[in-house]
A and B are shown apart, each in its own frame.
Chain A
Amino acid sequence: MTILKGILTDQLCTMREKALRLRKSRAPNKAIAAWIEDDRLINEAGKALVIIMNSSGCDWALGEGGGCSMCGYSNDTSEVITDENLIEQVQKVLQEFSDKTFQSVKLFNSGSFLDENEIPIKAQDEIMKMISNLSKVTEVIVETRPEFVTKKALKRLKAILGNDKELELGIGLESSDDFIRINYINKGFLFNDFNKAVKLAINNNVRVKSYLLFKPPFLTEKEAIADTIQSTIDSIKVGARTISINPVNIQNGTLVFKLWRDDLYRPPRFWSLKEIIQIVWQRIDEEGLRNQVDRIVSDPSGAGSQRGIHNGRHCDKYFVKALKKYTLTQNPEELDQPNCWCETVWRELLEYEVVSRDSSLRLVENAHNLLK
């Protein structure tokens, strides 16, 4: 795999080295976290078991790519993790939740499940085997970068899991715009790489979930809205049936964190996400794509906090709720409800950011303070 360096690559490598030196040590045989949540299944609402594994970390972040500009997942990894460790991690979680009901298992390992260096084949197989024994489970989601998606790997995993369980690969496309993905996000691969991985997956009866990053750094929020809408449509068109829209949340040690701390970045606002979701569904109908998409979900980390998607204290609570409801029901009208005076301010700042290229407008959100 060739590395596609972006403008930010050098700085991200330096920052990553520093962040990794500060990494906390963790028990290698324990998952970082696990919980059950309400989730949108392929066709209906249900429950999902989420497992955050402690792995050796993302190959792209640890290598000469330096990782992505908003990603701090490698902070939650460990230097040495054996295949036994990984198996034990999942085993323990499954035991812990053995008396609970869930239809979906989501495995997150801060990198690529299909990368043999991160999750050795033995561990991949063992984990899949354990999950295949859970009779109520109908879908399994793992995440991976496109370069690790091979026919061999897909066939192997699918064979273990069996045909009554859907396997879905979550791939962080982030944006379908190559310039944004390479230079603002430093993702290191092209839309075409994603496209190829999707085709491979589909041919092997494996589904794809496209992760989209809403509001990469250096874009205005308005441009980011347009970019995520377009990326959703593009993802669906190449075959991803699940879309997950992920508004940036601020993770320590990242470039986005630095920009945020310097007041040059603000996480997006709920109003923008609402606009994306409502326009996306309109576009899907306009372009006759309904039968190519199963779900468009958004379950933002840190929603309603300074570090996550937020409007302000006036209405964040309501939006968090509405968004959850939308994700479960897939009904964009769920977002019609929260009304707040801050919508006008949002609209104004959205436009003003475009005409001024000022990314510090967060500081005029409470304009009265500046007049005292």
Chain B
Amino acid sequence: MRIQISSVSGFAKLAKLKENSKIVETPTIMKISTKSDTFYWEIGDRKERFSLNLPPRYLSTEISVTENFDFQFIANLFMHKSLSENIIEKQLNKTLETLRNSVESYSKEKSLVIVQPPKSAQIFEKILNELNNLELQNIAITNLLPFINNPRQMIDFIAKLKTVLPVNSLLFLLSPIPHTYLPILSYTGIDVFSNGFANIAAKQRLYLTDAGGDKLEDMNEITCLCEICSKHTEPKEFISSFTESSVGEFHSLIIHNERIFAKKIREIRSAVKKQDLRGYIERAIQINPFSASALRLLDKNWIDWLIARTPTWSTVPIKSITSYGFTRPSINEFQKRVHERFTISSSKKVIVILPCSARKPYSESKSHQKFRAAIDSVANNKRGYIQELILTSPLGVIPRELESVYPAAHYDIPVTGDWSYEEKQIAIDQLVGVLSEIDSDVTIIAHIAGEYIELCEESEKILKRSFIYTSKNTRATTDTSLENLAKEINKIVEPLSPIKFSADTYKIQKVADYQFGIGVGEAMFPEIYSLKGRPPLPFKILRQNQQHGVIHYSTGKLTLSMKNGGILAKKKKYFVMFEGEKLEGSTLFAVGVKKADPEIRPSDEIVIVDKNHALLGVGHALISGRDMETVRFGAVAKIKSKVK
């Protein structure tokens, strides 16, 4: 059995399970099947499926392994939370001993161990570490239902599994969870869901719908058009067809309910493939209050891990954000980087705060073209004194130089000027954060109107300094405001002595800082450069007709040249330390990794170095740096070029 990760998204992953030319993609469903009167599990919601035996009793001391199954349960840990730690530990040791002694008799990647919500976090960590030592990484969960009203405990339990075990481990859920819980639980990291609830619900005459389910007798419309449901249009005859079936009671209801499960899992898988699982989740949680609080808790308590496993660079638009989107990993991380990796150069003497626009990147919008025209009215050799900041929700503050970086150019919310309290708070926090280190001789101009004014006034109070308002009474795009803006800027920069400034170079440096950490931009790009390119093609970074990398139009990501790779390697940032004879091929595998920078996230540009941190090649990461260190197999990075 091979497990190959295609992509990760938070704790969820898209993976292919392969064996004997059969392929099953996860997230997926498992269902009970029969063959000559014995039950077994089938994994997969398409034609190709893998089989799995039935779980063993508690305290069974032997491992029964047969060739008949693709996956096999090999242990069912006796760890009910009602038991004393003493018993749990004693039993665990016995089980581990059995597993160690019979290590020849089972194949690790085909084996499953059953766990359940534990007595304590401590004991659970111990259990997971022991399983890790045995390289048993496929886990089945049972007894999860008591947490169905307790999102905190459920999330913490599953997230613990996801953070202690390697990223390519598989999580199976045996408890019959309703289909409405599938989206949030897949984002929490379940790979394979039992669809048992479909049958259990059918036996209770429950007709499942996308958003929930109803008692058959309470149905007033048949909302499903699957081949079974579409035979009827009248709810009444529909009900009798379900209860008076010749194939067995509830047969057609079961089939319909199972389809609802299959549909849900395919929607999820499709969202992961489109790299929009997070967006899908934010929409899906509306039908299930548990999911809403679970998502909040994930964002609150597990954000570091979610960020680590969320690609930094993407092209997927962020649409119709609800308040659940404000804490998205990609938004959260953007805000953090603006705080930590963006500094306003000390040569800046004027800061202009501008409103956002619907069109992205902002500078392509009509309003911003007008703003820029006003700003560019200053003498060329004074332009370098001006820093532009764009105020927006929910990202907060976007420096002009970072306007193309994901997700700054990719979100899309109605610009109604109707900000919620939460959005205002985010914007104020970000603005205050960016401006807090600014010298007192720097003038801050707020070229904003309407609701934005309140934000700036709040920020003034916190910063204890005052802004100049250039469009307080009219819209920011009126001629009067624009003239005002130009006048105020000129007033400040005129007396200053001329300075050299290359907007392209400044942008390149800021993007590099954003990507790799403060100071890296100047180290990589110490001269004057220009950006040449026509969207949607990447912008080339050029100096004297020589290319020093590109910045992608669609993601805003800077790709590494070999020379810049050398600089990154020296700084010991975004490195993956290679262990092995010679770096070969275009893929770096887990076995070749000795160490990796924990800052690395999927899609990040990375350098591959030897054990003395000398550069061996550049490429990009497929999984996070933390995960590269714990996985035992599979691809971890793509190699773009190697040192000759």
Determine whether the beta carbon of B203 is less than 8 Å from that of A344. yes
B87 and chain A: residue at smallest CB distance: A11
A325→B629 CA distance, assembly (Å): 68
Contacts of B145 in A (CB 8 A): 263, 358, 360-361, 363-364
A179→B55 CA distance, assembly (Å): 18
User: Which residues of chain B from 306 to 339 have any CB-CB distance to chain A below 8 Å in the complex?
Assistant: none
Would A356 and B58 be within 8 Å (CB), given that A10-B84, A364-B197 are in contact? no
Report if A349 contacts B (CB, 8 A): yes
Report if B361 contacts A (CB, 8 A): no
Determine whether the beta carbon of A368 is less than 8 Å from that of B215. yes
Would A355 and B32 be within 8 Å (CB), given that A7-B90, A345-B204, A368-B204 are in contact? yes
Expressed in whole angstroms, the minimum distance between the Cβ of A227 and any Cβ of chain B is 12
Contacts of A179 in B (CB 8 A): 59
Give the residue of B176, B178, B204, B205 whose beta carbon is less than 8 angstroms from that of A358: B176
Contacts of B57 in A (CB 8 A): 218-219, 223
Determine whether the beta carbon of B82 is less than 8 Å from that of A262. yes
Contacts of A368 in B (CB 8 A): 204, 206, 213, 215
Residues 194-227 of chain B, each 1 if its beta carbon lies under 8 Å from chain A, else 0: 1011011101111010001101000000000000
Report if B415 contacts A (CB, 8 A): no
Determine whether the beta carbon of B180 is less than 8 Å from that of A264. no
Report if B362 contacts A (CB, 8 A): no
Report if B114 contacts A (CB, 8 A): yes
Give the residue of A14, A347, A357 whose beta carbon is less than 8 angstroms from that of B76: A357
Residues 323-357 of chain A, each 1 if its beta carbon lies under 8 Å from chain B, else 0: 00000000000000000010011011101101111
User: Which residues of chain B from 390 to 419 have any CB-CB distance to chain A below 8 Å in the complex?
Assistant: none
Contacts of A348 in B (CB 8 A): 199-200, 203
Determine whether the beta carbon of B212 is less than 8 Å from that of A11. no
Determine whether the beta carbon of A262 is less than 8 Å from that of B39. no
Would A14 and B84 be within 8 Å (CB), given that A262-B146, A344-B250 are in contact? yes
Contacts of A345 in B (CB 8 A): 200, 203-204
Contacts of B144 in A (CB 8 A): 358, 360
Would A356 and B90 be within 8 Å (CB), given that A262-B82, A344-B249 are in contact? no
Expressed in whole angstroms, the minimum distance between the Cβ of B508 and any Cβ of chain A is 54
Report if B623 contacts A (CB, 8 A): no
Contacts of B80 in A (CB 8 A): 259, 262, 264
Would A357 and B114 be within 8 Å (CB), given that A7-B59, A344-B250 are in contact? yes
Counting contact residues on chain B (CB < 8 A from A), the size range is: 35 or more
Determine whether the beta carbon of A356 is less than 8 Å from that of B203. no
Determine whether the beta carbon of B39 is less than 8 Å from that of A355. yes
Contacts of A354 in B (CB 8 A): 39, 54
A356 and chain B: residue at smallest CB distance: B174
A264→B144 CA distance, assembly (Å): 10
Report if A161 contacts B (CB, 8 A): no
Determine whether the beta carbon of B84 is less than 8 Å from that of A355. no
Contacts of B39 in A (CB 8 A): 351, 354-355
Determine whether the beta carbon of A360 is less than 8 Å from that of B204. no
Report if B6 contacts A (CB, 8 A): no
Report if B4 contacts A (CB, 8 A): no
Determine whether the beta carbon of B87 is less than 8 Å from that of A352. no
Determine whether the beta carbon of A218 is less than 8 Å from that of B200. no
Determine whether the beta carbon of B176 is less than 8 Å from that of A364. yes
Contacts of B180 in A (CB 8 A): 371
Q: Is the interface of A mostly helix, strand, loop or mixed?
A: helix
Report if B142 contacts A (CB, 8 A): yes
Determine whether the beta carbon of A358 is less than 8 Å from that of B142. yes
Contacts of B32 in A (CB 8 A): 351-352, 355
Determine whether the beta carbon of B178 is less than 8 Å from that of A367. yes
Determine whether the beta carbon of A352 is less than 8 Å from that of B76. no
Residues 38-71 of chain B, each 1 if its beta carbon lies under 8 Å from chain A, else 0: 0101000000000000110111000000000000
Contacts of A10 in B (CB 8 A): 84, 86-87
User: Which residues of chain A from 241 to 278 have any CB-CB distance to chain B below 8 Å in the complex?
Assistant: 255, 258-259, 261-264
A237→B215 CA distance, assembly (Å): 49
A363→B143 CA distance, assembly (Å): 10
A349→B201 CA distance, assembly (Å): 11
User: Which residues of chain B from 547 to 592 have any CB-CB distance to chain A below 8 Å in the complex?
Assistant: none
Residues 254-281 of chain B, each 1 if its beta carbon lies under 8 Å from chain A, else 0: 0000000000000000000000000000
Report if B91 contacts A (CB, 8 A): yes
Contacts of A351 in B (CB 8 A): 32, 39
Would A11 and B146 be within 8 Å (CB), given that A345-B200, A367-B204 are in contact? no
Residues 218-256 of chain B, each 1 if its beta carbon lies under 8 Å from chain A, else 0: 000000000000000000000000000000011000000
Determine whether the beta carbon of A356 is less than 8 Å from that of B176. yes
Report if B81 contacts A (CB, 8 A): yes
Expressed in whole angstroms, the minimum distance between the Cβ of A254 and any Cβ of chain B is 11
Expressed in whole angstroms, the minimum distance between the Cβ of B62 and any Cβ of chain A is 13
A345 and chain B: residue at smallest CB distance: B203
Contacts of B146 in A (CB 8 A): 262-264, 360, 363
Report if B83 contacts A (CB, 8 A): yes
Determine whether the beta carbon of A364 is less than 8 Å from that of B200. yes
Report if A370 contacts B (CB, 8 A): yes
Determine whether the beta carbon of A355 is less than 8 Å from that of B201. no
Expressed in whole angstroms, the minimum distance between the Cβ of A267 and any Cβ of chain B is 15
Expressed in whole angstroms, the minimum distance between the Cβ of B75 and any Cβ of chain A is 11
A262→B199 CA distance, assembly (Å): 25
A368 and chain B: residue at smallest CB distance: B206
User: Which residues of chain A from 1 to 57 have any CB-CB distance to chain B below 8 Å in the complex?
Assistant: 7-8, 10-11, 14
User: Which residues of chain B from 67 to 118 have any CB-CB distance to chain A below 8 Å in the complex?
Assistant: 76, 78, 80-84, 86-87, 90-91, 114
A8→B87 CA distance, assembly (Å): 7
A14→B82 CA distance, assembly (Å): 13
Give the residue of A255, A347, A360, A367 whose beta carbon is less than 8 angstroms from that of B175: A360
Expressed in whole angstroms, the minimum distance between the Cβ of A291 and any Cβ of chain B is 35
B208 and chain A: residue at smallest CB distance: A371
Determine whether the beta carbon of A360 is less than 8 Å from that of B197. no
Residues 147-189 of chain B, each 1 if its beta carbon lies under 8 Å from chain A, else 0: 0100000000000000000000000001110101000000000
Would A349 and B200 be within 8 Å (CB), given that A355-B41, A359-B143, A360-B145 are in contact? yes
Contacts of A8 in B (CB 8 A): 83, 87
A220→B413 CA distance, assembly (Å): 52
Determine whether the beta carbon of B87 is less than 8 Å from that of A7. yes
Contacts of A262 in B (CB 8 A): 80-82, 146
Contacts of B82 in A (CB 8 A): 255, 258-259, 261-262, 264
Would A358 and B58 be within 8 Å (CB), given that A7-B91, A368-B204 are in contact? no
A351→B199 CA distance, assembly (Å): 11
Expressed in whole angstroms, the minimum distance between the Cβ of B26 and any Cβ of chain A is 19
A137→B84 CA distance, assembly (Å): 48
Determine whether the beta carbon of A352 is less than 8 Å from that of B176. yes
Give the residue of B55, B78, B178, B203 whose beta carbon is less than 8 angstroms from that of A371: B178
Expressed in whole angstroms, the minimum distance between the Cβ of A81 and any Cβ of chain B is 31
A8→B83 CA distance, assembly (Å): 8
Would A371 and B84 be within 8 Å (CB), given that A264-B143, A344-B249, A356-B175 are in contact? no
A261→B80 CA distance, assembly (Å): 12
B250 and chain A: residue at smallest CB distance: A344
User: Which residues of chain A from 41 to 75 have any CB-CB distance to chain B below 8 Å in the complex?
Assistant: none
Q: List 16 A-B contacts (CB under 8 A).
A: A14-B84, A218-B58, A262-B81, A344-B203, A344-B250, A345-B203, A352-B176, A354-B39, A358-B142, A360-B144, A360-B146, A363-B145, A363-B148, A364-B197, A367-B201, A371-B208
Residues of B whose CB lies within 8 Å of any CB of A are 32, 39, 41, 54-55, 57-59, 76, 78, 80-84, 86-87, 90-91, 114, 142-146, 148, 174-176, 178, 180, 194, 196-197, 199-201, 203-206, 208, 212-213, 215, 249-250
4 nearest A-B residue pairs (beta carbon): A360-B145, A263-B146, A371-B212, A356-B174
- Identify 10 new A-B residue pairs, CB closer than 8 A, beyond the known A183-B59, A258-B82, A371-B201: A218-B59, A263-B145, A264-B81, A341-B205, A348-B200, A357-B114, A363-B145, A364-B176, A367-B197, A368-B204
Residues of A whose CB lies within 8 Å of any CB of B are 7-8, 10-11, 14, 179, 183, 218-219, 223, 255, 258-259, 261-264, 341, 344-345, 347-349, 351-352, 354-361, 363-364, 366-368, 370-372
